[in-house]
Amino acid sequence: MCSWAKGVFIALLWGTAATALASPVPEGVETLGRPATDTEVIAWDIDVRPDFLGLPPGSGDVWQGEETWLAQCASCHGDFGDSNEIFAPLVLGNITEDDIETGRVAALQDSAVTRTTLMKVATLSTLWDYIFRAMPWNAPKSLTHDEVYGLVAYLLNLGYVVEDDFVLSDSNIAATQALMPNRNGMSREHGLWSVQGEPDVRGSSCVRDCDVGDGCYFFPARLRDECARQSCRAGPRLGALPRVVDCAKQ
C-alpha cells in the first residue's frame, strides 16, 4: 500500500486550517516585536523539508563522510553505525536490494530484527536536517554543510544504498531520496493527526456480563518479588522517615 497517495487525505486533513479564525490583535500590541533581519532568519531557519526547501548547496563523498564519521561520530555510534551502546543502531547492513526496489523494508515485519534508523526513515531530508542541527550529540551545530553531505553519503553507503564512489550533493539529493529503502513505508491514513480525526479502535460500552475472554492474566513473578523486597525497604509508613523495618534481618 503506498501511503503517499496524498489526494483525499491531504485535502481532508492538511488543507482546512488557514480558514480558522485567528485572534484579533488588540490595539498597541503591534508595537511589540520587531521585524527579523535576513541574517537573523538565516542563522536560525536551518530546517530542511522532504522537498528540500531549506537545503543549503554543497556536496560530500563517501570517503570524506567516513573520515568525519570516524573522527566525530564513531565513538558513540560505532565505526559502522551499528553500536548499541549510546543509542539504537543507525545501520546494521540488513537492508536488501529488494527493499530498495520496493521502498519497503521487509525485515520490519520480523519482530526479532532490531529496527535501525535507516530501516525506518522514509525521507533523506530527515537525516540531513537532523545531523546538521543536532549532531555530534555533545557538540551540535558544529558541522559544515559539506561534512553533513559526506556523512549522509557514508550512512547510505553503510546501508548498501549507494556505491563507495558516491558523491551526494544538492543536485542529486532528491534522486537519492527516491532510493530510500523504506520510502513507501509511512502512512498518514489514520485519525491521530487532527482533533476531528476518526478513531481506528473503539472500546466496548458493555456494562454487565461482558465478554472478557478466558479471564486469564499474565503476572510476571520476578517483578512481584522485587516489589516485596523493596517495599520492605521503604517501610509501610506514610512518609519517607523513619524506616521502621530492618530489611537486612529478613
Partner 1 sequence: MGTEADQGHLQLAPESFLSTDLINEIQREGIDSGRRTLIRGAIAAATAAIAVPSVRAADDPDIVNLPSWTRSLGKPVVANPYGQPSPFEANIVRRQSPGLTRTDQSSVSFTPLQNLFGMITPSGLHFERHHQGWVDIDPRRHRLMINGLVKTPLVFTMEELLRMPSVSRIHFLECGANTGLEWGNVAVPTVQYTHGMLSASEFTGVPVSLLLERAGIDRQRAKVLLAEGADGSSMTRTINLENALDDALVAYGQNGEMLRPENGYPLRLVVPGVQGVSWVKWLRRLEVGDEPWATKDEAAHYVDMMPDGTHRQYTSIQEAKSVITAPSGGQKLLKHGYYSVTGLAWSGRGTVEKVEVSVDGGRNWRPARVEGPVLPKALTRFQYDWVWQGEETLLQSRVTDSTGYAQPSRAELIGVRGTRSIYHNNAIQTWRVGSDGEVHNVQLG
User: Which positions touch ligand HEC (CB under 6 A)?
Assistant: 72-73, 75-77, 86-87, 90, 117, 127, 130-131, 135-138, 143, 151
User: Which of partner 1, ligand HEC, none binds 7 (CB below 5-8 Å, type-dependent)?
Assistant: none
User: Which of ligand HEC, partner 1, none binds 151 (CB below 5-8 Å, type-dependent)?
Assistant: ligand HEC
Contacts of 91 (CB under 8 A, 6+ apart): 80, 81, 82, 116, 117, 118, 155, 158, 159
User: Which of partner 1, ligand HEC, none binds 55 (CB below 5-8 Å, type-dependent)?
Assistant: none
Which residue lies nearer to ligand HEC by CB, 100 or 124?
Answer: 124
Which residue lies nearer to partner 1 by CB, 163 or 214?
Answer: 214
Return the bridge partners of 59, or none: 169
The CB-side HSE value for 136 (13 A sphere, CA atoms) comes to: 15
User: Which of ligand HEC, partner 1, none binds 172 (CB below 5-8 Å, type-dependent)?
Assistant: none
Which residue lies nearer to partner 1 by CB, 16 or 164?
Answer: 16
Which residue type does 16 have? T
Q: Is there a contact between 122 and 187 (Cβ–Cβ < 8 Å)? A: no
- Taking the complex as a whole, how short is the minimal distance between the CB of residue 7 and partner 1, in angstroms? 15
Question: How distant, in Å, are the alpha carbons of 72, 108, 132, 147, 156 from that of 144?
Answer: 13, 33, 8, 5, 19
Exposure string (b/e) for 34-51, b if CB count within 10 Å is 16 or more?
Answer: eeeeeeeeeeeeeebeee
Q: Which three cell numbers stand for residue 41?
A: 532568519
User: Which of ligand HEC, partner 1, none binds 158 (CB below 5-8 Å, type-dependent)?
Assistant: none
What phi and psi, each to the nearest 5 degrees, are found at residue 211? -80, 120
- Taking the complex as a whole, how short is the minimal distance between the CB of residue 49 and ligand HEC, in angstroms? 17
Which residue lies nearer to ligand HEC by CB, 124 or 135?
Answer: 135
- Taking the complex as a whole, how short is the minimal distance between the CB of residue 169 and ligand HEC, in angstroms? 18
- Taking the complex as a whole, how short is the minimal distance between the CB of residue 209 and partner 1, in angstroms? 6
Taking residue 68's Cβ as centre, other Cβ atoms within 10 Å add up to 21
